Chains A and B, each alone.
Chain A
Amino acid sequence: MSVTTTPNGYTLNTGGKRLVIDPVTRIEGHMRCEVNIDDNNVITNAVSTGTMWRGLEVILRGRDPRDAWAFVERICGVCTGCHALTSCRAVEDALDIKIPYNAFLIREMMAKTLQVHDHVVHFYHLHALDWVNPVNCLKADPKATSKLQQLTGPKHPNSSPGYFRDIQTRIRKFIESGQLGPFKNGHWDNPAYRLSPEADLMAVTHYLEALDLQKEFVKLHTVFGGKNPHPNYLVGGVPCAINMDDDMSAGAPLNTERLFFVKARIDEMKAFNDNVYVPDVLAIASFYKNQLWGGGLGGKSVMDYGAYPLVNYDKSTDQLPGGVILDDNWDNVMEIDPRDPTHVQEFVNHSWYKYPDESKGLHPWDGITDPNYDVSSAKGTRTNIEELDENAKYSWIKSPRWKGHAVEVGPLSRYVLAYAQGHEIVQDQIHKSVAAFNALAGTNLGAKPILQSTIGRTLARALESQYCSDMMVDDWHRLIANIKAGDTSTANMEKWDPSTWPKECKGVGTAAAPRGGLGHWIRIKDGKIENYQCVVPTTWNGSPRDPAGNIGAFEASLMGTPVERKDEPVEILRTLHSFDPCLACSTHVMSEEGEEIVSAKVR
């Protein structure tokens, strides 16, 4: 056992029991987590490991930069499109290509639709079961559920007692037939579940409604990008032509009918966010008023590049402004410049990669992806690791840092940055949410204790989804007005031909991906990709320790969390899921034969 204090202020104690969760489920990709738990059932040390290796940087080398988006988009089928968008931006930045206004607006709507879709699916289909107990909903009184619905989301049409009774009957039939369905893996008798049966029934009902609606949301991608998942993108603009009088016979997919179809989808997203998603998160959160742990770096040390400009290429008009906040000082928002070699650096001294000098970090333009898998100091055998050694290399994820500081990324980080910079819409959303939470929970808390928690991450994601649907309404009206004014251009093809490119150049693209700030860095030489690095949100959040000993956001978020039962990782999964981890992006494919798919072991 050892006790150490990290530069970012955490006391790590490796005594007590070691709990291993491998893999962490209901996430994208493969992740392992080990924690030490003391005699009071409080987590005193956390070790987060990405157990897959991603080789995309290697695959891209030597390819045509105009094709890069199609490769990187396939990093993941869930946050589909955001890697493609970021890649197009990186290439356009390198080649100094400016896209037309219509293309900008269409890309904005595609990106915001992804936010709504991804956030809704994450909450209802991956994260809700951390808070909601579907078995418990069988005990609910449908009349009381109907009342709860009318209290929390009065504008939602599906609120009658009969409707809830009907759903309850279905769930009962399903469970009694011996099928727990998607609800199979839960620890349903764990006292960490706090909802009333009525709230459980309401949430399960919305689980089904969301499953039905999510397929409508992504139709926006099929109109603008041809398909979903993996809609099409284009360096220089968007791959769809506009002809408002057309019946599509000339091959122009955007006409009046299609644009009004898009508007109908945006209205659906807005209604669901306003009437169901945000109210559900607040209602659920209020039952967990005594469990406001899980914050870690969340809302205290945060980063985002900034996103959704009103005027393209003008960062000062970002509707979710970026920056960096350290150590809970919301009065000091610092700048992040993805081009500055001292700002964003990736370290590998605890990652399974090799650098010539591992005491130093590398800026992504100079990034190296050279695998070096070594578990010689771990306990157990090579194919059955019992306990990793966090003092050695222990993850396929690198450790990105801003000027050497560990920061958290994600919707909560964006919301805290916007709030701290006086963003009126975000402040209004947060103030209303805090008031609603306090009213439901009977508490009198300020914004910070609610936001700087597992609940806060989940709430910020819902608010961001809501804001994105509102912004899309504006984007849509601006697109219609611009087309009416006679501009139908959707792509700038001036520099399509590689003969117009400089011999060597480099660029960077950033985006607000659903899971946080995303950056792609590219170097182009003789018309081909010379180096490509993606620094994705989960790399920031899931990073292992850096040479100075700072722990990353996942690890920090688990510190100090009390658990009800040592062998049932309900609280740990709840907090890790609140980041919506995407290990598929942050690392890639590495799994030993015979590995147990889900296991939690106490040692």
Chain B
Amino acid sequence: MGEQKKVLVLGIGNILWADEGFGVRALEHLQSHYEFPDYVTLLDGGTQGVYLVQDVRDADILIVFDAIDYGLEPGTMKIIENENVPKFMGAKKVSLHQTGFQEVLALADMMEDYPEQIILIGVQPEYIEDFGGSLRPVVKAQIEPAVEKALAFMDANAIEYSKRDTPFVPNDASEDAILTMDNYEQGRPSEELACRMGDDRILTSNEFNVTEPKLAKVGDNPLNVEVDHHLEKYR
């Protein structure tokens, strides 16, 4: 037996952008129903970009939940493993705030601290530009199957876990509790109170035509295989 391998389970995405929050919500579900030994770290990576490099470098095995854009039917889950996980740099992302996850992987690689094993559990989003919105039903329905995939991967790799007797509920006083999916959905202000596409005073100015934003149409040529590609057009 060699040294115990370190496992990082990472949920990435922006919960303020509807289906883009999938990775974080899947991680939340995993945390609330399962417990793990010390060598497994669960991390809500949010939109942290380059600051995640240190965590990725520390990991021997990396499990990632994320919304992906492979031009699939919305809600489709796709598993990508090891060398198939794209780690090239997004050609167009060049600021710290724009560091996509594949760039984090590239930096880890360049620093010769690349995880031995990676599994990316991704789901094709249906809708993103709904500020403050939650997951669409087809994407939400993939949370449990995605968690099952992660557990199956853990079984295959002798990573231990146990099911909690009762789901973990964050302390009400902490910010985590405010951000849990149920609280987040219930606390959403009405559309009149908080515009869901942008600032009303700008959108209603004569200089703008307000149109419903769209994701890439299913059936079009698949987009570049970039984990965070779907974010680019909104940046």
Interface pair B202/A584, CB less than 8 Å apart? no
Whose C-beta in chain A lies nearest to the C-beta of B87? A179
How many A residues have CB within 8 A of the partner chain?
A: 44
B81 close to A (CB within 8 Å): no
Residues of chain B within 8 A (CB-CB) of A370 are: 201
Task: Give B86-114 as 1s and 0s: 1 = Cβ < 8 Å from A's Cβ atoms.
Answer: 01110111111100000100110111100
Residues of chain B within 8 A (CB-CB) of A179 are: 87-89, 106, 109
A28 close to B (CB within 8 Å): yes
Residues of chain B within 8 A (CB-CB) of A182 are: 89, 94, 103, 106-107
B157 close to A (CB within 8 Å): no
Instruction: Give, as a whole number of angstroms, the nearest-CB distance from A231 to chain B.
Output: 14
Interface pair B205/A373, CB less than 8 Å apart? yes
Question: What's the Cα separation between A178 and B95 when bound, in Å?
Answer: 21
Q: Which single member of B88, B92, B206 contacts A598 (CB below 8 Å)?
A: B92
Question: What's the Cα separation between A257 and B150 when bound, in Å?
Answer: 38
Task: Give A196-215 as 1s and 0s: 1 = Cβ < 8 Å from B's Cβ atoms.
Answer: 00000000000010011001
Q: Which single member of B87, B94, B97, B233 contacts A185 (CB below 8 Å)?
A: B94
Task: Give A368-383 as 1s and 0s: 1 = Cβ < 8 Å from B's Cβ atoms.
Answer: 0011111110000011
Interface pair B202/A594, CB less than 8 Å apart? no
Task: Give A356-391 as 1s and 0s: 1 = Cβ < 8 Å from B's Cβ atoms.
Answer: 000000000000001111111000001100000000
Instruction: Give, as a whole number of angstroms, the nearest-CB distance from B13 to chain A.
Output: 16
Interface pair A229/B207, CB less than 8 Å apart? no
Q: Which single member of B51, B88, B95, B201 contacts A215 (CB below 8 Å)?
A: B51
How many B residues have CB within 8 A of the partner chain?
A: 36
Residues of chain A within 8 A (CB-CB) of B199 are: 53, 55, 371
Question: What's the Cα separation between A29 and B95 when bound, in Å?
Answer: 8
Given contacts A182-B107, A184-B91, A373-B207, contact A215 B202 (CB under 8 A): no
Residues of chain B within 8 A (CB-CB) of A25 are: 94-95
Instruction: Give, as a whole number of angstroms, the nearest-CB distance from A563 to chain B.
Output: 20
Q: Which A residues from 174 to 194 make CB contacts under 8 A with B?
A: 174, 178-182, 184-185
Given contacts A179-B89, A181-B106, A181-B110, contact A211 B53 (CB under 8 A): yes
Residues of chain A within 8 A (CB-CB) of B96 are: 28, 78, 121, 125-126
Interface pair B51/A373, CB less than 8 Å apart? no
Interface pair B202/A53, CB less than 8 Å apart? yes
Instruction: Give, as a whole number of angstroms, the nearest-CB distance from B60 to chain A.
Output: 18
Interface pair B198/A26, CB less than 8 Å apart? no
Q: Which single member of B51, B89, B94, B207 contacts A26 (CB below 8 Å)?
A: B94
Q: Which A residues from 564 to 603 make CB contacts under 8 A with B?
A: 584, 589-591, 593-594, 597-598
A502 close to B (CB within 8 Å): no
Whose C-beta in chain B lies nearest to the C-beta of A70? B175
Question: What's the Cα separation between A307 and B37 when bound, in Å?
Answer: 47
Instruction: Give, as a whole number of angstroms, the nearest-CB distance from A538 to chain B.
Output: 14
A170 close to B (CB within 8 Å): yes
Instruction: Give, as a whole number of angstroms, the nearest-CB distance from A580 to chain B.
Output: 11
Whose C-beta in chain B lies nearest to the C-beta of A122? B96
Given contacts A27-B95, A28-B96, contact A374 B207 (CB under 8 A): yes
Interface pair A593/B233, CB less than 8 Å apart? yes
7 contacts between A and B (CB under 8 A): A27-B95, A125-B96, A170-B112, A180-B89, A182-B106, A370-B201, A589-B198
Q: Which 7 A-B pairs have the closest CB atoms?
A: A597-B92, A25-B94, A215-B54, A26-B94, A373-B205, A373-B207, A181-B106
